[in-house]
Chains A and B, each alone.
Chain A
Amino acid sequence: MHSMAGCAARIDPFHVMPEQVTNKSRRKFNFLDSIEKPTEWFIRLCGWSSIIGIAAIFLFIFKEAAPMLPRLDWLTFFTSPRWIPNPAPGNPASFGALALLAGTFTTTFIALIIAVPVGLGAAVYISEFAKGKVKETLKVVIELLAAIPSIVWGFIGLMVLGPLIKTVFTAAPGSWWGHVMVILHLASAETGAAQGTNLLTGGVILALMSVPVIVSLSEDALRAVPDSFREAALALGANPWETVRRVLFPAARNGLLAACMLGMGRAVGETMAVLLATGHNNRIPAALTDPVRTMTATIAAEMGETVFGDPHYRVLFILGIVLFVITCSINVASDLIIKGVKKANKA
């Protein structure tokens, strides 16, 4: 045993003076640190905001439509093109949305026929072939395409593209071009397009609007393909195009499919552009340049005229539910497709 006296005389390096303890333990008060718990709860609440939002959208639209749901003649709604919201003598009210559904799906179909090849081609070019300045420029242009508001696209359809299409699809009665158009269902009359705003104009405008969605998402999908795939293809002697077709397309298949579906979702839900550019005529189109009318445009055009609570008002909300269900299922399906890919890549 050493003498205790010598021990006590030595300075203990870990010994802390009492006043120092109190100083250390009283850390500088920071307001932002002190609100950690409430902030975390608030952050959590905000994280759920999108669920709350989507539930609220469904709830409130459903609430407005509910009184009409049991009273609506659903068979008429889905099978009759007679959309007569304001009854007149000799013209009873009828809510047949078949022509509106047909309008929505034909414009979307035309849009996809144009937008899918163009969008995929542009995405492949941007992600695999373009370099440097060209790539940056193209990306910026695609972004600008996405940024142009739908009302401006409608304006372009109405004022720029419409007159152009009317000129192209106009023929003298009895001329060969008129015959060709009628035979090929390009126009329903030999004289050609009756008006510039029609199915084709709306389809082209919608195509231009959904191309940015398709391009950016397809580009993401292509970029997600590991470089080792490309290197392996090159090592086997494939040229870039063969790499794209035989390696990248199969590998990114689901992502590309999801991109096209989201582009479709955008085309289905678009409102102002089709309101201005499709001619807003309630009939099932028989030819490419017939004016049509979509569900979205009908809601936009007629909601202002309705009386609160009358059947017309409620039926417009039912159209909203139909749109909501269509676009939601498209989105959820594409989300599942993309997630499927991620799982497969991980495995």
Chain B
Amino acid sequence: MSVPAVAPPRTGRLARAAATIATVAVVLVLGYPLLWILASSLRAAGETATGLSLWPQEFTWSNYTAGWSGSNGVGFGRFFLNSTVVAVGAVVGNVVTCLLAAFAFARLRFPLRRFWYAVVIGTLLLPQHVLMVPQYMLFRELGWLNTPLPLIVPKLLATDSFFIFLIVQFLRSLPENYDEYARTDGASPLQLFRHVILPLSRPAITATAILTFIWTWNDFFPQLVYLPLVEDSTAPSGLHQYAIAGGLSAPGPMFAMSVLSLLPVLLFFVAFQRLLTTSTTTGRMAAHLPRPRGRR
């Protein structure tokens, strides 16, 4: 963190107490539902599942084993495998193609560059649901329904313009004279990318990979449309079908599977929370707007 915006004012004891109470309230409101799912997933079947308590009277793992077998003969192991295939494919696609496009936008000069970058920003603002019907018909024509291809191939074509934007912001923060040196030494643009930019881009690549994984893992609408069969379902849509098929009457296993479906997101978040909540991603978002002069 740099210098705090407003230098900590010399506040009185009362104001400080109020701030502490407010902070505790925020923590409670945000943390309670998360702890509550966890508690509900460990409660024995006899206990009221919807209660206020965060401490089960009796701890049991049986909800996890009961829920894992899934519904309609398809277990959650299958759902997780499907989710992993989709998420890993999306990560590879986004990282490779968005990085290449972002490098071109940030470090190369070519005709119509500004125009195409304006198009990137335009597609960033385009509501994705507008495209669902025609894309569905396109992928149906290609025979890709009930396969993960409609969820992966668009990422291989860099359609997630948010990440182009994110990486461009990052690359613009790297010193220009690195490129100058490389060019003076006769490096081609591709060599410049391979030997100079790529090794320096690790934070942006990691942020892209993590966010793509988390967002794809949680995605529900496209999965619902393109993978409607139970055996093709990803973890969220499998969970939804499980809830409809009787989970609401047996909440313990449903919450156990909810916890498991959130677990990969949680693990990635814990491992990379510093990267996600500090400068690389959010700071760049803020930084693309003009900053006060004299500060970099």
Partners in one complex: no
Q: Please list the residues of chain A having a beta carbon within 8 angstroms of any beta carbon in chain B.
A: none
